[in-house]
Structure 1
Amino acid sequence: MALDATAVTLLALGVLIGVAVLADRAAGGALATVPGALRDTGIVALLVLAAGLVFTLVATDQALADADAPVLSWVLGIRTPGLTSAAEAVSLVGGTVGTGGLAVVAAVVLFARGHRRTALIWVLGVVAGALAIRLVKVAVERPRPPEALRLAEETTASLPSGHALMAALGLTLTAAAVMALTVGTPRARLVRRVVVVLAVLGALLVGASRVYLGVHWTTDVLAGWFLGTALAVTCITLARVLDARARLGDSPDGDLPVNSPGTSHSAE
C-alpha cells in the first residue's frame, strides 16, 4: 500500500498546526483573542496527528494491521438478520450524500438567517471532505476486507472510510448550526446537549455499521472519524475567528458566537 507519503503529510500537517497554535499563544494573536479558538485549533492538530499515526501504523506495524482482523472476526460472530437490516439502514441514511447533504441544508438555513459567511464555510468544508475522501483513497489504495465477508458492494479503496469521515464532518457542522441558531433562546443549553449527543451517536453508528457490513477495517473508520472531526472543528474555529474580527470592525455580518461550547453564549 502506498501509505508513506499520505502518513508523512498528515503527521507534518499536525505538527505545523501545533506549532502555529503555540506561536499564536506566545504572540497573543488572532486565535488567542477568541475564546476557545486556541484550544480547538490544538484539537485539530491532535486529530490530524492521530490520523497520520493510524496511516503510519497500518503501513508499517503488522501488529496494528492484524488488530483489524480480530474485530472483523468478532463482527462475523454477532451478525443476525435484524442487526444486518439495521446496519444497512444506518449505512444508507448515513452515507456521504446523506450526512454531507445535511450539512449543506444547515448551511442554507444559516444563509437564510443572515449567517452568510458561516454558510459558505460549511459548504466549503463539505466539499473539502468529499475531495479528501477521493484523494486519500486514490493515494492509499488499501484493499477492503475479503469480498466473501462483505454484506454490501463497494468498488473503491478502503482507507479512509468515507462514511465515517463525512458523518463526523456533516453531523458536527449540523449540530454547530443548530446551536448557533438557538443562541439566546430559553432552551439553548438543552438543545446544545441534545444535538451534541445525537451528532456523536450518529457518527459512531455510521462508522460501526461499515465495519459490521464488512466493507471497512476498523482502522479505516478511525481514520475517517479523526479527519472528519478535524475538518469540522477547523470550519467552526474559522467561523468564530472571522466573526470575532468582524465584530471588532463593527461589521453587521456577525455569524457564529465566538464563545467556546462550554461557556455561555452572548446573544447575537
Structure 2
Amino acid sequence: MEWWQAVILAILQGLTEFLPISSSAHLILPSQLLGWPDQGLAFDVAVHVGTLLAVMAYFRHDIVKLTNGFVDSTFLAKPNMDGKLAWCIILATLPAGFLGLCLNGSIETYLRDALVIATTTIVFGLLLWYADRQPNLSKSIAEIGFRQAFLIGCAQALALIPGTSRSGITITMAMLLGFDRQAAARFSFLLSIPLILLAGSYKTYEMLTTTHPIPWSFIFMGALVSCVSAYICIYFFLKLIEQLSMTPFVIYRLLLGAFLFLGVAMGWFI
C-alpha cells in the first residue's frame, strides 16, 4: 500500500467510524472498486487506536466522571447518575462483545460483499430516517435506564454486519426509544469506547503474535491521521446535530447504496 492510499483510508476510517454512514461501505470502494491492496492487520490496529484516542480525548471529562461514579456506586455504596450511566455503557457493550468473540470475524468474512453492504446501507438508512421523524425525541442522556441501554447494545450488535454503521444503528435505536439527537449521539460515542478498546486489543494481540514484520511507520501515521479526522468528526457532528436532522445522512446513505447496487450490476467490483 502506498503512503497516500494509507492516508486516505485513515481519514475515511476516522470520519466514518462516528458518522452514521457506515465505514465498511466506504472502505469497500477503494479496495474493490479501485483495486487497492488490503490494508492489512497492522493498519487496522493503527486506525482503531487512532479513533479510540480521539473519542477518549473528546470525552475525557465524561470519562473521569463516569469512572469516579462507577467506583462510588460499586465499591463505596454511593449510587449516583454517573455510576448508573457507566453501568449502562457496560451493559450495552455486552451483546456486541459477546457476538464478536463468538463469531470471531466470520460475519465480516462471509458478508463483506458489495451487495450485502449496499442493502444494509439503504435499509438501515431508511430506519434512521424513520427514527429521526418520531415526534417525542425529548429524553436526555440522564434518563437512560438499563432496559434502554440493553436494547441499544443489542442494536449495536447488528453493526457486525457490514454496511449497518455502528454509530448509525445505536443512534437510531436511541431515538426510537425517545432520546433526543444530542443524547443519542453522545451515548453512541461513549458506547464506542469499550467496543473499540476490545476490538483494538484483540487486533493488537493478533498483530503481536504474527510472524510478519510490523510496519511501525505505517502504524504511527495511520493512528495519527485517523485520530485527527475522528476528533474533528465528533466535534462538528455534535455541534451540527443540535441544528440539523439526520436527513442529510439518510440521503447520503441512499445515494451511496444506489451507487453500490449500480457497481454490482455493472461488475465494477473486483
With normalisation by structure 2, the TM-score equals: 0.28
Give the structure with higher Rg (CA): 1
Higher relative contact order (Cα pairs below 8 Å, separated by 6+ residues): 2
